[in-house]
Amino acid sequence: MISVDSTPEGAANLSMAHFFLALMKADGVVSEGEIRKIEILSHKFRHGLPGNSDIIPDDVKFMHNDSAFLRMMSMDHVNDGFVAFDKFVESGQAEVEHMETVVEMIDILAEVDGVTPNVKVIMDKIKEGLAKRYGAK
Protein backbone atom coordinates (compact mmCIF):
# COMPACT_ATOMS: atom_id res chain seq x y z
CA MET A 1 0.00 0.00 0.00
CA ILE A 2 1.21 3.49 -0.79
CA SER A 3 2.11 5.75 2.11
CA VAL A 4 -0.61 8.32 1.53
CA ASP A 5 -1.22 10.38 4.62
CA SER A 6 -1.98 13.99 5.35
CA THR A 7 1.37 14.78 6.96
CA PRO A 8 4.03 16.87 5.23
CA GLU A 9 6.22 13.75 5.05
CA GLY A 10 3.40 11.80 3.41
CA ALA A 11 2.95 14.55 0.82
CA ALA A 12 6.69 14.58 0.15
CA ASN A 13 6.78 10.78 -0.24
CA LEU A 14 3.87 10.85 -2.66
CA SER A 15 5.34 13.68 -4.72
CA MET A 16 8.70 11.93 -5.05
CA ALA A 17 7.05 8.68 -6.14
CA HIS A 18 5.05 10.56 -8.79
CA PHE A 19 8.06 12.50 -10.09
CA PHE A 20 10.29 9.44 -10.31
CA LEU A 21 7.61 7.27 -11.90
CA ALA A 22 6.85 10.03 -14.42
CA LEU A 23 10.46 10.00 -15.50
CA MET A 24 10.68 6.20 -15.57
CA LYS A 25 7.49 5.86 -17.67
CA ALA A 26 8.56 8.54 -20.17
CA ASP A 27 10.45 6.11 -22.40
CA GLY A 28 7.57 3.63 -22.38
CA VAL A 29 9.24 1.02 -20.14
CA VAL A 30 9.91 1.02 -16.42
CA SER A 31 13.05 -1.07 -16.14
CA GLU A 32 14.30 -3.10 -13.22
CA GLY A 33 17.47 -0.99 -13.37
CA GLU A 34 15.45 2.16 -12.79
CA ILE A 35 13.63 0.61 -9.84
CA ARG A 36 16.94 -0.47 -8.32
CA LYS A 37 18.45 2.96 -8.97
CA ILE A 38 15.60 4.60 -7.01
CA GLU A 39 16.46 2.37 -4.05
CA ILE A 40 20.15 3.28 -4.27
CA LEU A 41 19.58 7.01 -4.81
CA SER A 42 16.98 7.25 -2.03
CA HIS A 43 19.53 5.85 0.38
CA LYS A 44 22.42 7.92 -0.97
CA PHE A 45 20.50 11.20 -0.87
CA ARG A 46 18.45 10.42 2.27
CA HIS A 47 19.56 13.56 4.09
CA GLY A 48 18.57 15.94 1.29
CA LEU A 49 15.53 14.12 -0.03
CA PRO A 50 12.12 15.31 1.14
CA GLY A 51 10.04 12.64 2.82
CA ASN A 52 11.13 9.27 4.09
CA SER A 53 13.83 7.81 1.87
CA ASP A 54 13.01 4.29 3.11
CA ILE A 55 9.39 4.56 1.95
CA ILE A 56 9.79 6.31 -1.42
CA PRO A 57 11.14 3.25 -3.32
CA ASP A 58 8.26 1.13 -1.98
CA ASP A 59 5.77 3.78 -3.08
CA VAL A 60 7.29 3.81 -6.58
CA LYS A 61 7.02 0.00 -6.81
CA PHE A 62 3.46 0.03 -5.52
CA MET A 63 2.36 2.74 -7.95
CA HIS A 64 4.08 0.96 -10.83
CA ASN A 65 2.13 -2.23 -10.14
CA ASP A 66 -1.24 -0.83 -9.01
CA SER A 67 -4.02 -0.69 -11.60
CA ALA A 68 -5.14 2.77 -10.47
CA PHE A 69 -1.73 4.18 -11.42
CA LEU A 70 -0.95 2.00 -14.46
CA ARG A 71 -3.20 4.07 -16.72
CA MET A 72 -1.51 7.32 -15.73
CA MET A 73 0.77 8.92 -18.27
CA SER A 74 4.03 10.63 -17.32
CA MET A 75 2.46 14.11 -17.35
CA ASP A 76 -0.33 12.89 -15.04
CA HIS A 77 2.36 11.83 -12.58
CA VAL A 78 4.14 15.18 -12.94
CA ASN A 79 0.93 17.09 -12.26
CA ASP A 80 -0.03 14.91 -9.28
CA GLY A 81 3.54 15.17 -8.02
CA PHE A 82 3.30 18.95 -7.93
CA VAL A 83 -0.08 18.83 -6.17
CA ALA A 84 1.50 16.72 -3.42
CA PHE A 85 4.72 18.77 -3.36
CA ASP A 86 2.70 21.98 -2.98
CA LYS A 87 1.26 20.51 0.23
CA PHE A 88 4.76 19.71 1.46
CA VAL A 89 5.96 23.24 0.67
CA GLU A 90 2.90 24.80 2.32
CA SER A 91 3.78 22.95 5.53
CA GLY A 92 6.89 25.10 5.85
CA GLN A 93 9.20 22.07 6.01
CA ALA A 94 10.54 22.31 2.46
CA GLU A 95 14.03 23.66 1.92
CA VAL A 96 15.94 24.61 -1.21
CA GLU A 97 18.16 21.57 -0.57
CA HIS A 98 15.12 19.33 -1.11
CA MET A 99 14.50 20.76 -4.57
CA GLU A 100 18.16 20.58 -5.53
CA THR A 101 18.32 16.96 -4.39
CA VAL A 102 15.28 16.06 -6.48
CA VAL A 103 16.83 17.70 -9.55
CA GLU A 104 20.10 15.83 -9.01
CA MET A 105 18.30 12.50 -8.59
CA ILE A 106 16.25 13.10 -11.74
CA ASP A 107 19.41 13.72 -13.75
CA ILE A 108 20.99 10.49 -12.48
CA LEU A 109 17.83 8.39 -12.88
CA ALA A 110 17.33 9.57 -16.45
CA GLU A 111 20.72 8.20 -17.43
CA VAL A 112 19.87 4.62 -16.39
CA ASP A 113 18.03 3.81 -19.63
CA GLY A 114 19.21 6.83 -21.58
CA VAL A 115 17.76 10.28 -22.10
CA THR A 116 15.25 9.94 -24.93
CA PRO A 117 13.35 12.97 -26.25
CA ASN A 118 10.31 11.99 -24.13
CA VAL A 119 12.46 11.58 -21.02
CA LYS A 120 14.01 15.00 -21.67
CA VAL A 121 10.54 16.59 -21.87
CA ILE A 122 9.55 15.11 -18.50
CA MET A 123 12.89 16.06 -16.93
CA ASP A 124 12.43 19.62 -18.12
CA LYS A 125 8.82 19.80 -16.88
CA ILE A 126 9.82 18.70 -13.39
CA LYS A 127 12.89 20.93 -13.24
CA GLU A 128 11.07 23.96 -14.64
CA GLY A 129 8.19 23.38 -12.23
CA LEU A 130 10.53 23.19 -9.26
CA ALA A 131 12.37 26.31 -10.40
CA LYS A 132 9.26 28.40 -11.12
CA ARG A 133 7.28 27.29 -8.08
CA TYR A 134 9.96 27.02 -5.44
CA GLY A 135 13.14 28.64 -6.74
CA ALA A 136 15.10 25.43 -7.31
CA LYS A 137 18.10 25.58 -9.64
Domain count, the chain: 1
Q: For residue 37, which amino acid is it?
A: K
Q: What is the pLDDT of residues 13-47, one digit of tens each?
A: 999 999 999 999 999 989 999 999 999 999 999 88
User: What distance in Å separates the CA atoms of residue 118 and residue 86, rounded to the nearest whole number?
Assistant: 25
pTM of the model: 0.92
Q: What is the mean pLDDT of the chain?
A: 89
Q: What is the pLDDT of residues 38-91, one digit of tens each?
A: 999 999 998 888 888 899 999 999 999 998 888 899 999 999 999 999 999 999
Q: What is the SS3 assignment for 24-56?
A: HHCCCCCCHHHHHHHHHHHHHCCCCCCCCCCCH
* Radius of gyration of the chain, Cα coordinates, nearest whole angstrom: 13
Residue 2 lies in a domain: no
Q: Which domain holds residue 48?
A: 8-134
Residue 47 lies in a domain: yes
